[in-house]
Amino acid sequence: MYTTQETICALATPSGSGAIGIIRLSGPKAYEIANTIFHGKDLTKQATHTIHFGTVRDDNKIIDEVLVSLFKGPNSYTGEDSVEISCHGSSFILGKVIALCLKNGARFAKAGEFTQRAFVNGKLDLAQAEAVADLIASESESAHELAMNQMRGGFSDKIKTLRDELIHFASLIELELDFGEEDVEFADRDDLKELVDRLTVVLYNLIQSFSAGNVLKNGVPIAIVGEPNVGKSTLLNAILNEERAIVSDIAGTTRDAIEDEVNLGGIIFRFIDTAGLRETTDVVENIGITKTYQKVDQATVILYLVDAKKSTKEEIQKTVATIQARIVDTNKRLIVVANKLENELNDKKEVPTAILDKFEGLDEVHYLSALQKTNVEELCAHLVELVKSNIVSNSDVTVSNYRHYEALSKAYEALMKVTEGLAVNITGDFLAMDIRQSLHYLGEITGEITTDDLLGNIFSKFCIGK
């Protein structure tokens, strides 16, 4: 059981060594505890939202020089008195400062507890709280942007507007049900239909944006398909190199490449089944093989890799047609990569006509040499461009959370029943039932209807410190 009497503390920045590390305290004794270990001004007498320089000492032994930021409740993230201590980012120092906080009466925070308190104190609604979880987990710029947008309430606002319109609609219907015997004007069915149509379009777009939102959070699934020995792993390595080149511009941020996840221009690309990719024995003729199809189905971008010298025009054209037939989904993009053009591309990167002929009539063909890393940079830039133009800009508000997606889908389903009902002239009591259903599901998103499972699920996702 959770009580607000306790003051909690945790490291708010990632563990490991960084330039600085921040320790956060929240609860009724946050100021008192900070003041005990801090030497400098009397923190309890300072104004909220101010920063103070001083030292943290353990029995007069200086641990570190620190900056302390003060947030008086309710004007803090959690809604309680909060203090943030910025230390130098050494594990030893951070560990020592936390230990001091604990010694002076704080308790180590549980996963997600800061956000849980923010939610409980009415600082965040459910959708916003979930966005925080996403924010913490977000690895790339786009996902970060999405989470920020949601946290500022953009998503909740949109849903709320929708709900209000629906509530108005529902009350019109209720009016004619309960006062049908009296001299009231009935809700105009054409107006109602217009309203429902408009709402379903908005809901539909939000639902569609789920795939975009999810893609941003989890990475754009990308599949490299092609015959054995066309250079699939060589290409993957070349792309990984591109990422390294990008991130290494910022000193000290280089990280070990996760082999199947690549961050290009702020967007995460996730290579599907790359383990399989490396050992794949798929042959183009066998593109019908389930496994390859699965990859195509899961991917948003399909890189069809061809040995541009060995493959015949007929083979290439046939395979492209097969894949295209498979990807009727408009969100998927097929890029043909003509590989193994070592020494074939001259300085101006012009492609020999014999090669060009094999790819006649195909859109989006990239001519490159994965081995020599010729044109790989261009391919990467193209991938980024593709995702940004097709996915990110599709919707100003994006649904990225599966729970939201499900609730929106159910609300949408119920609204479709309203539309069906209007079409066959069904009576108001049944229309009202489906409208109420829609309202119910929209309410689930903004947190107006919550169940214990729901909350448990949300809070278990938070990592410590936020």
Partner 1 sequence: MEKEYDVIVVGGGHAGCEATAAAANMGSKTLLITMNMGTIAQMSCNPAMGGVAKGQIVREIDAMGGYSGIVTDKTAIQFRMLNLSKGPAMWSPRAQSDRWLFAQEWRIMLEQTPNVEFWQDMVTGLITEKGAVKGVKTSLGIEFKSKAVVLTNGTFLNGLIHIGEKNFGGGRAAERHATGITEELVKLGFEAGRMKTGTPPRVDGRSLDYSKMEEQKGDEHPSKFSYHPTTKPLINQKSCYITYTNETVHNTLREGFDRSPMFSGAIEGTGPRYCPSIEDKIERFSERDRHQLFVEPEGWNTVEIYVNGFSTSLPLEVQEKAIKQVAGFENAKIFRPGYAIEYDYFPPTQLKHTLETKLVDGLYFAGQINGTTGYEEAACQGLMAGINAHLKINGKDALILKRDEAYIGVLIDDLITKGTKEPYRMFTSRAEYRILLRQDNADVRLTPLSHKIGLATDVQLRLVEQKQKSLKALMKKLDNSSVTPDETNTYLSESGTANIKQKVKISNILSRPQVNIKSFAQAVPTISSLITNEDPTVIEQAEILIKYQGYIDREKEMAEKMTRLEEVKLNEEMDYFQFKSLSSEAREKLNSIKPRTLGQASRISGVSPSDISVLMIHLGR
Q: Mark the binding-site residues for Mg(2+), compressed into ranges.
A: 233, 254
Position among 427, 457, 460, 463 found at the interface with partner 1 (CB under 8 A): 427
CA-CA distance, 128 to 116, in Å (whole number)?
11
In 3D, which of 1, 3, 9, 126 has the Cα closest to residue 465? 9
Position among 38, 77, 114, 119 found at the interface with partner 1 (CB under 8 A): 119
423 binds partner 1 (CB under 8 A): no
Task: Give the nearest distance from C-beta 126 to partner 1 in angstroms.
Answer: 8
Q: What is the token pair recorded at 129? A: 């709280």
Site string for partner 1, 122-151 (x = CB under 8 A): x--xx-------------------------
CA-CA distance, 214 to 33, in Å (whole number)?
41
Task: Give the nearest distance from C-beta 191 to partner 1 in angstroms.
Answer: 19
In 3D, which of 223, 227, 237 has the Cα closest to residue 370? 237
- CB of 115 or CB of 140, closer to partner 1: 115
- By CB neighbour count within 10 A (0-12 exposed, 13-18 middle, 19+ buried), where does 262 fall? buried
H or E segment and range at residue 142? helix 141-151
Binding site, annotated residues: 24, 84, 123, 229-234, 248-254, 273-276, 466
* Sign of the alpha-carbon dihedral angle for 57, 62, 64, 66: positive
User: For residues 429-448, which are near partner 1 according to CB under 8 A?
Assistant: 429-430, 432-433, 436-437, 440, 443, 447-448
- Paired sense of beta strands 301-307 and 220-225, if any: parallel
Task: Give the nearest distance from C-beta 174 to partner 1 in angstroms.
Answer: 4
Partner residues linked to 8 by β-bridges = 26, 107
Binding segment for partner 1 among 12-20, 94-102, 131-139, 172-180 (CB under 8 A)?
Answer: 172-180
Q: What is the token pair recorded at 224? A: 């490299």
Count the residues of the shown chain that bind partner 1, applying the rule CB under 8 A: 39
Position among 279, 347, 357, 452 found at the interface with partner 1 (CB under 8 A): 452
- CB of 40 or CB of 443, closer to partner 1: 443
116 binds partner 1 (CB under 8 A): yes
- CB of 135 or CB of 177, closer to partner 1: 177
Cβ contacts of residue 12 below 8 Å, gap of 6+? 22, 23, 24, 84, 465, 466
Residues that bind partner 1 (CB under 8 A): 1-2, 4, 116-117, 119-122, 125-126, 174, 177-183, 424, 426-430, 432-433, 436-437, 440, 443, 447-452, 455-456
